């Protein structure tokens, strides 16, 4: 099983776009997305220095545009991707890249949203002096206890021994004076305390804009930063991306879901390296490919062919799938067992795991075509549970 991942802010480096722009088609597509974003992304990806592209308003659109255009280089015929990709996921702002790649939103919608996301987060960060510090190593419980003691948020939980603390500069200074045993603290060069309550004003702005965005259900499973669940309702995908601005990124849970789904290969879109590095440490035995430069494209396509297999979701005009959000035991709701028609928003049951129980909703409703699982079956993330024929469809 192949998972495509998109990195978040901090992955950019000066000049990383230069080799990609030697291709005229890549360059023209970047110019188009630059126009949509209202930024000269070609300049920022080739000539701007590290401090300039660290700016939230620059870094975020630059990363999303790069991932989207590089995806078209990797998959010249985008429809081919959906027969090979088992799931997609993005880290923080990379979720917009993943959502557009899964056809939840268009590339142009993604660029408008990321432009406004970057502006709103920069404005929120300017209100109070805040920052982020990577906490590497140490006992997980002790690290989390230290963060709580100083009022900090574990803004990025990237797996064993990799937690990013976020909060005010005073709170981070107190943590530095009271570091957890055997932990190494590395202050990060970021503009503020992302994925914390300090970003609440940005959520409000994006929520207002998102109400006007038309969405589609994803063509391939999307793994959410919020809780690692597989999401297959386009409206929920977008709502989660907006809410995530002020909530922690649970990349550890995303990787758990990948493992539960049977991932064998993870390919990271450019500027790659961060997420594949985490995966190498956390997902032993899973092959990784960091796509950094265009001269790797042939090898990347070979990697895709090696690990790719058809997504269990096959969208057609005549029916819809309801899929499992997580690994666990499926329990079907008693009142739907014999139903022939389900209204939109019907809860069809739940999936219970060792961690929690998640209700499963048929967001669109429709006529029951067939149940693909039985009550009490063990299911994996993204596994189809129920096939529905949309009411009113021809």
Q: What is the dihedral of CA 267, 273, 276, 281, to 10 degrees?
A: 170
Q: Which of 91, 150, 195, 307 is catalytic?
A: 195
The two structure tokens encoding residue 105: 């939103």
The two structure tokens encoding residue 123: 């404005």
> Active-site residue 198, yes or no?
no
> Active-site residue 83, yes or no?
no
Q: Is 179 exposed, middle or buried (0-12, 13-18, 19+ CB in 10 A)?
A: middle
145 φ/ψ angles, rounded to the nearest 5 degrees? -65, -40
Largest CA distance in the chain: 66
Let me know: does 164 contact 132? Beta carbons within 8 Å: yes
Among candidate residues 282, 223, 221, 225, the one with its CA nearest the CA of residue 250: 225
Among candidate residues 233, 223, 227, 191, the one with its CA nearest the CA of residue 322: 233
Q: Which of 34, 91, 92, 150 is catalytic?
A: 92
Let me know: does 136 contact 182? Beta carbons within 8 Å: no
Among candidate residues 17, 216, 13, the one with its CA nearest the CA of residue 100: 216
Which residue numbers are catalytic? 92, 195
């Amino acid at each position: 099983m192949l998972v495509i991942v998109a990195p978040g802010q901090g992955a950019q480096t000066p000049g990383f776009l230069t080799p990609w722009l030697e291709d005229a088609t890549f360059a023209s597509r970047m110019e188009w997305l630059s126009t949509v974003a209202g930024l000269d992304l070609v300049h920022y990806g080739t000539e701007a220095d590290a401090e300039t592209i660290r700016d939230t308003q620059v870094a975020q659109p630059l990363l999303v545009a790069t991932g989207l255009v590089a995806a078209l280089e990797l998959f010249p015929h985008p429809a081919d991707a959906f027969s090979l990709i088992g799931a997609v996921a993005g880290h923080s702002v990379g979720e917009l890249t993943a959502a557009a790649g899964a056809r939840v939103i268009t590339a142009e919608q993604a660029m408008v949203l990321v432009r406004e996301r970057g502006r709103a987060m920069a404005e929120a960060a300017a209100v109070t002096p805040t920052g982020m510090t990577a906490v590497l190593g140490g006992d997980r419980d002790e690290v989390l206890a230290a963060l709580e003691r100083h009022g900090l948020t574990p803004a990025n939980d990237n797996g064993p021994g990799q937690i990013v603390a976020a909060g005010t500069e005073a709170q981070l200074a107190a943590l530095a004076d009271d570091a957890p045993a055997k932990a190494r603290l590395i202050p990060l060069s970021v503009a503020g305390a992302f994925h914390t309550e300090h970003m609440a004003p940005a959520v409000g702005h994006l929520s207002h804009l998102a109400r006007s965005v038309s969405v589609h259900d994803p063509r391939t499973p999307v793994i959410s930063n919020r809780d690692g669940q597989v999401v297959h309702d386009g409206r929920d995908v977008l709502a989660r991306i907006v809410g995530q601005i002020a909530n922690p990124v649970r990349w550890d849970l995303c990787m758990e879901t990948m493992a539960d789904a049977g991932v064998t290969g993870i390919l990271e879109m450019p500027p790659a390296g961060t997420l594949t590095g985490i995966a190498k440490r956390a997902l032993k035995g899973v092959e990784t490919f960091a796509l950094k430069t265009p001269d790797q494209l042939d090898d990347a396509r070979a990697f895709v062919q090696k690990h790719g297999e058809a997504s269990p979701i096959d969208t057609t005009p005549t029916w819809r799938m309801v899929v499992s959000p997580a690994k666990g035991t499926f329990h079907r709701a008693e009142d739907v067992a014999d139903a022939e028609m389900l209204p939109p928003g019907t809860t069809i049951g739940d999936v219970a795991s060792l961690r929690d129980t998640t209700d499963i909703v048929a967001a669109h409703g429709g006529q029951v075509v067939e149940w693909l699982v039985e009550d009490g079956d063990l299911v994996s993330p993204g596994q189809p549970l129920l096939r529905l024929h949309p009411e009113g469809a021809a």
